[in-house]
Amino acid sequence: MSNYVATVAWTRQPGEAFTDRRYSRRHHWSFDGGQTLLASASPQVVRVPLSDPAGIDPEEALVASLASCHMLFFLDFASREGFRVASYRDDAVGRMEKDARQREWMSLVTLKPQVVFDGDKRPSALEIAALHHKAHDHCYIANSVKAEVRVET
């Protein structure tokens, strides 16, 4: 069993009343390896200047986590099969919708991996599809969310 820790820290800015709901949503995420990132509510949810478009919002982070997890498993499985990956890029997209109770949720995340192979041993389209299927099946994050996760190659 493993534990993963993230620290989320926010401080009200000087002059913000807070109870008027006009406060900055800027905050920071810190991780055990020492990395600290600027985070914010999505500008699609909370208007600028109360949100900061430069920050990573939770919705983007969920999409990135799914894409990153899938990629890491794909790379591992490709290497085990002897396929040499030169590059991997995924322009993943998450879609928010309202459920029957009008609550918003991430209903669909579409992964769009573009993989470039080099070396003597190249996978067929069928082998690439099998690698993606296996990566999706093993992805911890995909196994943890209720959103549908599609892989479009």
Residue-wise pLDDT tens digits, 2-17: 999 999 999 999 999 9
Domain that holds residue 1: 1-56
Q: How confident is the model at residue 129 (pLDDT cuts 50, 70, 90)?
A: very high
Q: Which domain CATH number covers 5?
A: 3.30.300.20
Residues 73, 52 share a domain: no
Instruction: Specify the amino acid at residue 41.
Output: A
Q: How many structural domains comprise the chain?
A: 2
Residue-wise pLDDT tens digits, 92-122: 999 999 999 999 999 999 999 999 999 999 9
Residues 122, 64 share a domain: yes
Tell me the torsion sign for CA atoms 116, 79, 130, 67.
negative
Residue-wise pLDDT tens digits, 65-86: 999 999 999 999 999 999 999 9
Residues 10/27, Cβ–Cβ less than 8 Å: yes
pTM for this entry: 0.94
Residues 73, 19 share a domain: no
Query: What gap in Å lies between CA 140 and CA 41, rounded to an integer?
Result: 25
Residues 145, 84 share a domain: yes
Residues 134, 64 share a domain: yes
